[in-house]
Chain A
């Protein structure tokens, strides 16, 4: 599965559009991590616990999107976008969406 956030997969031709695919997830960390993050926030700087949380959410949302594309028998997802929103303190929603497309078989490589 190719993922790009431009309107094509460079070097390949798009033969068919399968439609929009999306995946979203809401994740939270356990209360201990939230407490430590709150403490860290007091002094500023990077909050590693939450960076990790958003990383995991992003991976999960991407995987769900890819699963949808697989179900549509697509070869690539183009124009992938991410949107993040904070639901409550310590929980974030990540939404990934894009257009699932089919590609031609041959890799065009005329240099």
Chain B
């Protein structure tokens, strides 16, 4: 009985705290994305417009590790039985990717770069072989920041 109370109690706490953290994170991401919106930074192509006009090129990389809260982990476990979109995990990955990309773009901004070429996004689950903890995901975004001669 006590076990059940602890589990249900922690699920309820995690639901509220996790939701609060996620909402704030999304707000923060949106604010920064709007701030960077007009600066065209990310490109997935490998080609510069004109190689002769390039002043400098630097490798920029930024990573983030996001975890999913216990409530989401629990819900995703239930969802897995019936199949379909596991939306609990989707938001975690979405947040991580956007955060990593934003950090990379902010680095490019700090270097006064004009474009980041050949942007790669790498996703790795940090819990090998399904250990009992809720999953953590490491997301890395990197590319070549190019600054053109003005």
Binding site for B on A (CB under 8 A): 2-11, 38, 40-47, 50-51, 53-55, 58, 80-89, 92, 108-111
Contacts and interface: CB of A to CB of B under 8 A. Distances in A.
A109 B138 contact: no
B65 interface: yes
B124 A44 contact: no
Given A3-B58, A11-B51, A81-B120, 5 more contacts: A5-B142, A43-B14, A50-B65, A89-B131, A109-B149
B12 interface: no
Given A88-B128, A89-B128, A82 B143 contact: no
Contacts of B10: 42
Say whether chain A's binding surface is mostly helix, strand, loop, or mixed. Answer: mixed
B22 interface: yes
B46 A6 contact: yes
A85 B127 CA distance: 10
A9 B46 CA distance: 11
Contacts of A110: 52
Contact of A84 (B46, B58, B138): B138
Interface residues of B, number: 49
A5 B149 contact: no
A50 B118 contact: no
16 contacts: A5-B120, A5-B144, A6-B48, A6-B117, A6-B118, A10-B54, A11-B53, A41-B134, A44-B68, A45-B18, A51-B64, A58-B61, A82-B140, A86-B127, A89-B127, A111-B52
B63 A55 contact: yes
Residue among A43, A46, A87, A111 facing the most chain B CB atoms (10 A cut-off): A43
A14 to B, nearest CB: 12
Interface string B39-78: 0000000101001111101110101111111101000000
